[in-house]
Structure 1
């Protein structure tokens, strides 16, 4: 592998990449940094956070904290006051939330309405449902899955971050994450758009519930460990962390997403790159990625600074990085 060639190519063609870590057959084969970052720096990995939430839901099911994916969302909110005339929210299940097929009463996500509220989960519940009913239509949302983080808190009795630290991060040798609450809109925007190194934090809403759709900060080495555990079907250094059945289920295509999403399929908060070969990925805004290719026993983790409309990162991985290491 020509390390200098890859480094120079990334510096010229993928200018917001900060870290890349590659593991092959369980061994670290490549790690590099750009833009003044070190390999231990943490960056906001955006929607890769969603895929971490999926892993935590799988662990919660394994520990009988959640019965199964057919549990209705309102089972966890018996005191929620349903809006007059609403007949759909009652039918929404965990499976719909994880597969992005839950129905919502909006065309575009109301960020200000939700993120300025004192209770993001309540704000999201008020947006679930609608007249169309359960259609299984794919609707990619970031705020809507906030209820999943809240359900982890409700069923485990500890914060989502503490649950993640205990059952996922610590077993993988990842340092504990700590909560961060933005005090106002300006701090919230700065958190998302900042190009500075972060501490190991996870953005939380005002009540302290970790954001489910974004907000987690990690290094590419941390992400590679998560990918390696997934590649080994939920096992890491002979320690079972997540049932293999959950890994297989979450990476199985549930819905086809169409041209807007690169004709990829979607499992349970993981993108399916190649269903025939079980290649899948966690993908976040700016081009943050955990890429898992079981057939090649390959993990590629990429962290990036905020940059809108980065749509070629998986193509870059498949066409450039993967051939160089395989």
Structure 2
């Protein structure tokens, strides 16, 4: 796909009509956000590479960062693809325990030895907790999160069954550090954020590891564990325009202004539909003939990519319990605004 410009230094905004977007339909967004999605702090809609709609609420502006929660996982996925391409990691079928030679599993625990990077990326590694009931609070009370996760990994269940795990994504972040010698934050700054014009994430000294430091109002930059590993499953702060940049990179199959930042094959593998509707730390959705892949975070943080419509929707939200599904907003107000 040929692009007239790349938003490396600045996004360009064009009126909706020029981008073949129905302005009346888009105007419905404002009403719906204010009435039903009041915890949305920022939304950016990009069509054909240009911003066609951008609004901020609750006192936020375009440079304000938000804790994007599990959107962090999709960033980690991109970094794994970059690390494999750079030959820091062999491939997705490399065994997880290869990266932790100091960890010696129980001799009878054969399943643990068979778990691969692919299993962590696709959420098909076994864990002892029930699906969607991961005891993250328990992990966060440990002095060594990685040992705690490795102890838990492979216990109960079987390899290949979908079970959503944030701690598995944290292992992937640690694997990035073990293989590259850099934290996920440092590696991202160098190989992902800087090349596409996203703001680099400075280090944040973690002085305590309470709830507010890890998940709440004290979350800054990119959270890390007590041993300095960037959190893999949450903890990254981004502004909506940079969320859109990341989505735009994926929409262009890893190419940015002539440079292949993420391998094209990685983008394709990461977003290929499967029975679990989950790629490599991306949610996959097909509805009414429209295919989308989404980075989703608690509270309603979203980067939604719709390739066939050359459309990206980035939404930054304040965390609340049980927010309305953003897909409803996208499906009812944004996709119908695209004029073929």
The normalised TM-score by structure 2 is: 0.87
* Pairing partner for 1:306 from 301, 305, 319: 319
Q: 8 Å contact 2:176–2:184 — kept in the other structure?
A: yes
Could you tell me how far apart the structure 1 residues matched to 2:205 and 2:106 are? Answer: 30
Could you tell me how far apart the structure 1 residues matched to 2:156 and 2:192 are? Answer: 39
Structure 1 residues 278 and 64, CA gap change in structure 2 (3 angstroms):
farther
SS at match of 2:203: strand
Could you tell me how far apart the structure 1 residues matched to 2:267 and 2:117 are? Answer: 16
Q: Indicate the residue corresponding to 1:105 in structure 2.
A: 128
Q: Indicate the residue corresponding to 1:274 in structure 2.
A: 286
Q: Indicate the residue corresponding to 2:334 in structure 1.
A: 321
Q: Indicate the residue corresponding to 1:259 in structure 2.
A: none
Question: Structure 1 stretch 57-66 or stretch 109-118: which is displaced more?
Answer: 109-118
Q: 8 Å contact 1:181–1:205 — kept in the other structure?
A: no
Query: Does residue 124 of the first structure (1) align with residue 149 of the second (2)?
Result: yes
Q: 8 Å contact 2:93–2:118 — kept in the other structure?
A: yes
Q: Indicate the residue corresponding to 2:14 in structure 1.
A: none
SS at match of 1:139: coil
Query: Does residue 176 of the first structure (1) align with residue 200 of the second (2)?
Result: yes
Could you tell me how far apart the structure 2 residues matched to 1:132 and 1:37 are? Answer: 44
Query: Does residue 15 of the first structure (1) align with residue 38 of the second (2)?
Result: yes
Instruction: Report the alpha carbon displacement of residue 290 of structure 1 after superposing the two structures with TM.
Output: 0.5
Query: Does residue 147 of the first structure (1) align with residue 171 of the second (2)?
Result: yes
Instruction: Report the alpha carbon displacement of residue 191 of structure 1 after superposing the two structures with TM.
Output: 4.9
* Pairing partner for 2:183 from 159, 162, 177: 159
Instruction: Report the alpha carbon displacement of residue 130 of structure 1 after superposing the two structures with TM.
Output: 2.2
Instruction: Report the alpha carbon displacement of residue 325 of structure 1 after superposing the two structures with TM.
Output: 4.7
How many residue pairs get matched?
313
Instruction: Report the alpha carbon displacement of residue 142 of structure 1 after superposing the two structures with TM.
Output: 1.1
Instruction: Report the alpha carbon displacement of residue 306 of structure 1 after superposing the two structures with TM.
Output: 0.5
Query: Does residue 192 of the first structure (1) align with residue 215 of the second (2)?
Result: yes
* Pairing partner for 2:92 from 55, 65, 69: 69
Structure 1, gaps ≥5 residues long: 257-264
Q: 8 Å contact 1:70–1:93 — kept in the other structure?
A: yes
Root mean square deviation of aligned Cα:
1.9
Q: Indicate the residue corresponding to 1:115 in structure 2.
A: 140
Q: 8 Å contact 1:288–1:302 — kept in the other structure?
A: yes
Structure 2, gaps ≥5 residues long: 1-22
Could you tell me how far apart the structure 1 residues matched to 2:319 and 2:137 are? Answer: 20
Could you tell me how far apart the structure 1 residues matched to 2:38 and 2:214 are? Answer: 20
Q: 8 Å contact 2:309–2:338 — kept in the other structure?
A: no
Instruction: Report the alpha carbon displacement of residue 126 of structure 1 after superposing the two structures with TM.
Output: 0.7
The normalised TM-score by structure 1 is: 0.90
Query: Does residue 247 of the first structure (1) align with residue 279 of the second (2)?
Result: no
